[in-house]
Structure 1
Amino acid sequence: MIENQTVEQAVEKAAEKAPGEYLHPLPTAVDGSALLALAVDHHARAVRSVGVREVAGHLVKLYVIEAPERTLAERELEPIVAIAGGQLAGAAARGSLGLGVLIVHAGGDGDYVLVHSWIEGYMSDLAIFTGPAGQPDQLRPGRAGLAPCVWEAAVLAHEREAFVRRVLDGAGPVAERLAAWAADVLTGEVR
């Protein structure tokens, strides 16, 4: 079991299975203990779609990710949708195409809100807000360089595929493509 091994033991065991494919000793920047601790604590999180809304003139797919012991009621989402509206209000100046994703993550250590929109040139715009659990009035822009966590990235990966499959590679008029995009949602558990 990984949790009962030292980093060195885990690396040695892995090297025995596939000699030459693993680095030993580990490069100095690799924190093997921290990686194994993350692996031990890693778990599935529930994700659900809460529909599509018009927010600041954008069509926005809304998702909720919930850590164990956390739940969000739909009424709790309204102040968060308002935050997204503030972010999207100026999105045209950043090349927005009018389609976005709002992820509300009720995490184990606080709340995270991701406002993602598709922009010109096959690119996207992302803003992340963070704050204490259950206090949307305390959400503030995340630090520079903050990126999605593993669970949030799973939703964004699905949304990238839905955008490509339904809008860029879709067939028919724009309204039909957008209806297909809106219906293509991720629900269940993500890891």
Structure 2
Amino acid sequence: MSVRQGSVVLRQPHRPRAISFLGLETIGGWAVKLYGISAAADVPRPALVAATVETAASLLPSPARTDSRYGIGFAIAHDAADYCFALVDWWHGEHEIHQRLFSAPRERPDALSPHPGEAIGCVWELAVTDFERRAWLRHVLANPEGPDPDAYLNAHFTGRV
């Protein structure tokens, strides 16, 4: 089978972006690993990071810890070339990631609202999600000594994608 490009036109060649671990946030009893991505700098603008944390605080389930969740998640503030994005993810049950995706105009990073459409993330955001999935397997699900949420929280991704 041959796959042809069709009408998709690349706006520009891929340029790697820095992905930074910004810290571990405590948000309403949740332990949230916070990441930042930016198209124009090494880290996203502070207003977007703050809006991402505020958005996470407004939607993470309460209470954080129950019989079906650890109270652990991760969030991504992405200062992209065309929009501001915030992804808020949390672990539910043993092996599910629940996610909400928000966006805002570039000139209003504090105006995050639910992102319309069916997107789940871009190549940069999904690099974080993939790292987190692998870390969850390594430290929680497939750890021979049993689940170690603290080891999971201490594992974080930093790099260029």
Q: Normalising to structure 2: TM-score of the pair?
A: 0.84
Which residue of 1 is the match for residue 98 of structure 2? 125
Alignment of 1:1-191 (within 5 A): 22-23=1-2, 26=3, 31-34=5-8, 37=10, 40-69=12-41, 71-74=43-46, 77-90=49-62, 95-133=68-106, 135-170=108-143, 172=145, 177-190=148-161
Structure 1: distance between partners of 2:134 and 2:42: 28
Structure 1: distance between partners of 2:117 and 2:83: 18
5+ residue gaps in structure 1? 1-21
Structure 2: distance between partners of 1:112 and 1:158: 19
AA at the equivalent of 1:188: G
Higher share of residues assigned helix: 1
AA at the equivalent of 1:49: F
Structure possessing the higher radius of gyration over alpha carbons = 1
5+ residue gaps in structure 2? none
Q: Point out 4+ residue stretches in structure 1 off by more than 4 angstroms.
A: 73-76, 90-93, 171-174
Greater relative contact order (Cα 8 A, min sep 6): structure 1 or 2? 2
Count of residue pairs brought into register by the alignment: 159
Structure 2: distance between partners of 1:103 and 1:167: 21
- The Cα of 1:37 is off from its aligned counterpart by 1.9
AA at the equivalent of 1:52: L
The 1:37/1:158 distance shift into structure 2, 3 A limit, reads same
The 1:67/1:121 distance shift into structure 2, 3 A limit, reads same
Structure 1: distance between partners of 2:46 and 2:103: 19
Task: Report the 3-state secondary structure (helix = DSSP H, G, I; strand = E; otherwise coil) of the residue aligned with 1:138.
Answer: coil
Structure 1: distance between partners of 2:90 and 2:45: 24
Structure 1: distance between partners of 2:145 and 2:33: 21
Q: Over aligned residues, Cα RMSD in angstroms?
A: 2.6
